[in-house]
Amino acid sequence: MYAFEIDRPATLADALKALGAEEAQALGGGQTLIPALKARLASPARLVALSGVAEIKGIRTGENGALCIGGGTCHADVAAGAGAYPALAALAARIGDPAVRNRGTIGGSLANNDPSACYPAAVLGSGAVVVTTNRQIAADDFFEGMFTTTLEDSEIITEVRFPVPEVASYQKFEQPASRFALVGVFVAKYAGGVRVAVTGASEEGVFRWSEAEAALSGDFSPGAIEGLRLSGAGMISDLHGSGDYRAHLVAVMTRRAVAAAR
């Protein structure tokens, strides 16, 4: 790995100042960026470690009972502290292994937007709001494609606000070596309808399955989506499974998520 400088700010203001330097890049838990540096897929001249910024850590109850999670909160703390949203706590508890869960952060996961990551499905499936140092971004506007979001340079995720649903479940068919989602489906039922978000399947990254949402909003039961199918076109196809296989898995995991939520 090549040489680079590293800053360790203790406040959000100092972190933003450090990110203003040329070729600076934020470092959360490092679960994605460090392997990328080792493989020389990224080459920032300066890293700004956010692990010492207490302002962006922690879990609280916000307006209208929303569960608000700091962007610097690690997965293990979400698993232990998000009891008000059991489906989200369960999702966090199954990310990677203990080492990953105690270093990786929700903000880092969302900023990276890996097409097989779990948190994007929770955020999109919940209709959450991503709060940054500049603005508030609705989940439907945040994700723009594989490894791409609306985040601007030097913009830091400070908090994610989750409206707590009536019931919800996340079901993941995981790749056993990496524990990433081969396909993961997050289903959340609110008074205004049902949201279904899918990760791990599409070449475009996380997406909402609108046909399933419409069917489940009228009848929240696994049988409501019998007969619904997604095309394998545009789905990820690799050594772990074809696009058609992943499309089939989306329907299977959606039915399982609905059954578990009920």
Per-residue pLDDT for 91 more than 90?
Answer: yes
Q: Which of 33-47, 105-119, 240-254 has the lowest mean pLDDT?
A: 33-47
Please write down the long-range contacts of 245-248, taking CB distance under 8 Å and 24 or more positions apart.
246/182, 246/183, 246/200, 246/201, 247/201
Band the pLDDT of 79: cuts 50, 70, 90. very high
Q: Identify the helix (H) or strand (E) that includes residue 14.
A: helix 12-19
Calculate the alpha carbon distances from 178 to 3, 148, 194 in Å: 28, 21, 30
Query: 186: closest CA among 105, 104, 113, 253?
Result: 253
- Matching residue, tokens 């990953």: 100
Helices (H) and strands (E) in the chain, counts: 10, 14
Predicted confidence (pLDDT) per residue in 180-222, tens digit: 899 999 999 999 999 999 999 999 999 999 999 999 999 999 9
Band the pLDDT of 34: cuts 50, 70, 90. confident
pLDDT for the residue numbered 224:
97
- Matching residue, tokens 């916000």: 62
pLDDT for the residue numbered 18:
93
pLDDT for the residue numbered 144:
96
Band the pLDDT of 1: cuts 50, 70, 90. low
**pTM, rounded to two decimals:** 0.95
- The mean predicted confidence, pLDDT, of the chain is 94
Q: How many C-beta atoms lie closer than 10 Å to residue 11's C-beta?
A: 12
pLDDT for the residue numbered 139:
98
Average pLDDT of the residues in 137-158: 95
Domains of the chain: 5-49 (3.30.43.10), 55-162 (3.30.465.10), 167-261 (3.30.390.50)
CA dihedral for 171, 87, 150, 215, sign (positive or negative): positive
